[in-house]
Structure 1
Amino acid sequence: MEKVVCVTGASGYIASWLVKLLLQRGYTVRATVRNPRDSSKVAHLKSLEGANERLHFYEADLLEEGSFDSVVDGCQTVFHTASPVALSVSDPQTELIDPALNGTVNVLNSCIKASTIKRVVITSSITSVMVNYDSLNLGEDVIIDETWFSDPIFCRERNDWYSLSKTLAETAAWKMARENGLDLVTLHPGLTIGPPLQPSLNLSCYALLILIKEGKKLMPNVVYRYVDVRDVALAHIAAMVNPSANGRYCLVGRVAYWFETLDILKPNFPTLNLPTIAPEDRPTKLLYQISRERAESLGISFRPLEDTLKDSVECFRDRNLITL
């Protein structure tokens, strides 16, 4: 039987790696994008091994009800990755909340209509897990896990519109899944880095590039929740093929201070001229952790941050974004 899956927002950072791995495993992929005729968005996908035979593009609009009906009908699994990512917006409702929330509702409504779908996997975010009042007092004795939920009120108070959009979308998804008997899994990656397949840099890769180029301007006590994009893509496939997969999965390989990132990069890339953080300027507070237990139960083995950073920097070099 032909293995047919759908990936929404297929030209995105995580989605592109997911499409690549699915094609490598023999799946037929129905890829939704806003404009299949825009070569700047789809050329990197068309060049993937197996794309000529098993990758098919569909135009779909997150805000258009029924837009995904014909795409998901006939698929066994739907991976819903499409959702806007932005830290600064002028109209949070229009730019972030509506596409994330209404887009999720529209995709799931299409899935509910289709009799072939066995499971839906949604790419959520760690920001729908840990953005709450408890996050104000995170010490070394704290382990954040899948029982944590972000608080929409707290998100609004902080004007954290991206976290709000992901939290509202996830809440709506679980409500629909319960009411309609939909087999749903949500994945919650942290700051996703690693070599991109798409030609333009997504927000998280761009953030890493800025950290490297302008690190002297940044505070060493900034904390990042890192995960490799390839591990996130593999987790999506594991969530599909593992019959026991259920519920939510945090995907964070390592929680680290920014100065720890510098410590990893400096010996490997001495020509980057990265700042040196003096011992007295380094935070001494031990960091909280994010549980990897459920993710590892899916068979996910997180890459060391050292490998992810090395591959990211080498990708930046190959694209002439930095000079080594």
Structure 2
Amino acid sequence: MSLSKVAAYPEEKSHGPTTVCVTGVTGFVAGHVVARLLELGHTVHGTCRSPERTETVEHLQALPGASERLKLFKADLTDEGSYDEPLKGCTYLIHVASPYIVAVKPNEIRAKLLDPAINGTANVLGSVARTPSIQRVVLTSSCASIYGNPHEYGKDHVYTEENWNPTATETVLPYYYSKKMAEEKAWELFKAQGDNPRWKLVVINPAVIIGPPLSKRTDGESIGIIKQITTGKAYPLAPAMGMGSVDVRDVAAAHCLAMVHPGAQGRYICVDRSIWFADIAKTIKEAYPDSRMKPPLASAPKWLLYIVGPSAGLPRDMVTHAVGMIPHFNNTKIQREMGFKFTPVTEGIKDAVAEMLRLKLIQPF
């Protein structure tokens, strides 16, 4: 498994070394962003809530170039001003940090999801406003801010960057709502600069991100999906859920390219293609044909998922708005404007399994 699977784009190669702040560096995506930036020769100011906890950051400190060019800072989305220090001297900010909780109790939605996502974005961009060296902000948003129910505009609708999620609310798909509101807050603060903005905003909108973790402590939606499949929890029935999918190394490359590309502007859907849950299981079985793993035989009926879903981390609003449906995305903008090329997501699935086996996140199956 190579961190360098996605080669550097011409715009990345031609841009000289600079200093970049990356938020939430202990996360799945941000770790890959840090690895790519270091590989490109940049200095990285990485933020996380507990940089003193060696077990959460040691995989970052072991990256090539980290001992010379990675500096970790303590910062929290809910702590106003905590990003002032890490942003000092930086030319760019890649803001990845945001809460990811799909199953959240109704009385905890605002405290655990909305406030950290929305106010956190405002806090980080408040620090940007106080840091004159920052020229561009690349924000990690999500396709969750683009759509809620794949059929909300009709079964065959193809989503573009012009779409904004019309379905999610504070009580329906609250995670989706948090991503939408956080992105809207970012655009609001960017536009508040007026006609001659000092800093530019570019937004990356990935869907389900699949690929190899950097450490045993890496968390991510795809990590959980692969664990379910390889441990047999998806057998004999699995939810008939479709999702946009993209390799995590492509997501990291999209952020780093958007940071320096002179033509980067607006939002970018970052999706290789849409797949069904069962397609992931099929890809794993084809890569490991001698394994004992049993792919799902059929789809779990929706009525059953309404009953057992919540106890398995699948809330009823997800059952209503995701099961039996698959979203479709137009990914041509990022390819046309930045010359971006997608890695087949099947490679991300295979590399994820291989690395999870190596790290013993899963056992031989």
Relative to the length of structure 2, the TM-score reads: 0.81
Residues 1:273 and 2:293 are matched in the alignment: yes
User: Residue 17 and residue 223 in structure 1: after superposition, are their counterparts in 2 closer, same or farther (change >3 A)?
Assistant: same
Residues 1:210 and 2:228 are matched in the alignment: yes
In structure 2, the gaps of 5 or more residues are 1-15, 302-323
CA distance in 2 between counterparts of 1:187 and 1:294 reads: 11
Kindly report the root-mean-square deviation, in angstroms, between the aligned alpha carbons of the 2 structures: 2.1
Match of 1:156, SS state, is coil
**Corresponding letter in the other structure for 1:308:** G
CA distance in 1 between counterparts of 2:111 and 2:220 reads: 19
CA distance in 2 between counterparts of 1:272 and 1:16 reads: 32
Find the counterpart in structure 1 of residue 273 from structure 2.
254
Deviation at 1:41, TM superposition (A): 1.2
List aligned pairs for 1:18-167, cutoff 5 A: 18-90=33-105, 91-131=108-148, 135-136=151-152, 138-139=154-155, 141-151=156-166, 154-156=167-169, 159-167=172-180
Find the counterpart in structure 1 of residue 9 from structure 2.
none
Find the counterpart in structure 1 of residue 258 from structure 2.
239
Asked if structure 1 preserves the Cα contact closer than 8 Å seen for 2:78 and 2:123, the reply is: yes
Find the counterpart in structure 2 of residue 198 from structure 1.
215
Match of 2:342, SS state, is coil
CA distance in 1 between counterparts of 2:23 and 2:55 reads: 17
User: Residue 223 and residue 10 in structure 1: after superposition, are their counterparts in 2 closer, same or farther (change >3 A)?
Assistant: same
Out of 302, 309, 312, the residue aligned to residue 349 of structure 2 is 309
In structure 1, the gaps of 5 or more residues are none
CA distance in 2 between counterparts of 1:2 and 1:261 reads: 38
Asked if structure 2 preserves the Cα contact closer than 8 Å seen for 1:127 and 1:150, the reply is: yes
CA distance in 1 between counterparts of 2:298 and 2:138 reads: 44
Name segments (4+ residues, structure 1) moved above 6 Å. none
Q: CA offsets, 1:98-147, max 9 Å, x none?
A: 11111100110111121111100010111011126x733543x4211101
Asked if structure 2 preserves the Cα contact closer than 8 Å seen for 1:138 and 1:288, the reply is: no
User: Residue 13 and residue 46 in structure 1: after superposition, are their counterparts in 2 closer, same or farther (change >3 A)?
Assistant: same
Residues 1:170 and 2:196 are matched in the alignment: no
Find the counterpart in structure 1 of residue 364 from structure 2.
323
Match of 1:262, SS state, is helix
Residues 1:291 and 2:314 are matched in the alignment: no
